[in-house]
Amino acid sequence: MTQLQQPPVRTPFVDGTSPKAWIFSWPWLKWFQQIFAATASVQRNVVNTKAAYSAKAGDVVLVDTSGGDVVVSFPPAKDSVNAEIRAVKISADVNAMVLRASGADALNGMNQQVFTAQYDNFDGVSDGTSNWCGT
């Protein structure tokens, strides 16, 4: 991972510059460019689903369970080193969003996680062995 430099230290108005001159100064532009370059490699794939779905690295899965329970399957953690997958239950109903790990893998220590409230979500990161650790 790229080590980011600290932003330039300048205080607008105190040193006689306007905010516009300050924020568009070369040190700040260079710092913003560094931030954008560091985050440009993060790929997100937003998926809306009402049916079973096999998630892939970088997916943000928006799950509508209004038609019944929906299962989202996670890929093997060993094949997805440091990958991130997020699943969000977007519908307000009693049906469940069920997240399942692959084979003997685990999602926070369990083979599956069940969510029933609207906006319940799981943001998992693969440890590269057999676990999806998340919140």
Among candidates 110, 63, 64, 117, which has minimal Cα distance to 85? 63
- The whole-number pLDDT of residue 90 equals 95
Domain shared by 29 and 60, yes or no: no
Regarding whether 88 and 54 lie in a shared domain, the answer is yes
My answer on whether 121 and 70 are in the same domain is: yes
Which amino acid, residue 80? S
pLDDT score recorded for residue 49: 96
94 in the same domain as 57: yes
The stretches of the chain forming alpha helices (DSSP H) are: 19-23, 26-39
Same domain, 11 and 60: no
Q: What is the pLDDT of residue 131?
A: 92
Whole-structure pTM value: 0.69
Q: Do 62 and 85 have their domain in common? A: yes
Same domain, 30 and 52: no
Tell whether 95 and 29 lie within a shared domain. Answer: no
- What span, in angstroms and rounded, lies between the C-alpha atoms of 27 and 49? 44
75 and 12 share one domain? no
**Same domain for 68 and 123:** yes
Residues 12 and 50 in one domain: no
The three-point CA angle 63-69-70 to 5° equals 45
* Residue-level pLDDT at 1: 44
What domain count does the chain have? 2
DSSP letters of 38-64? HHTT---EEEEESS-EE--TTEEEEE-
Beta-bridge partner residues of 46:
60
Range of the domain at 76: 45-134
Q: What is the pLDDT of residue 60?
A: 94
CATH of the domain at 86: 2.60.120.640
Residues 37, 75, 126, CA angle at the centre, nearest 5°? Answer: 50
CB 92 within 8 A of CB 116: no
- Provide the residue-wise pLDDT of the chain in tens; the chain has 135 residues: 445 555 555 555 555 555 555 555 556 566 666 666 655 556 688 999 999 999 999 999 999 999 999 999 999 999 988 889 999 999 999 999 999 999 999 999 999 999 999 999 999 999 989 999 887
Rounded-to-integer distance, Cα 73 and Cα 135, Å = 17
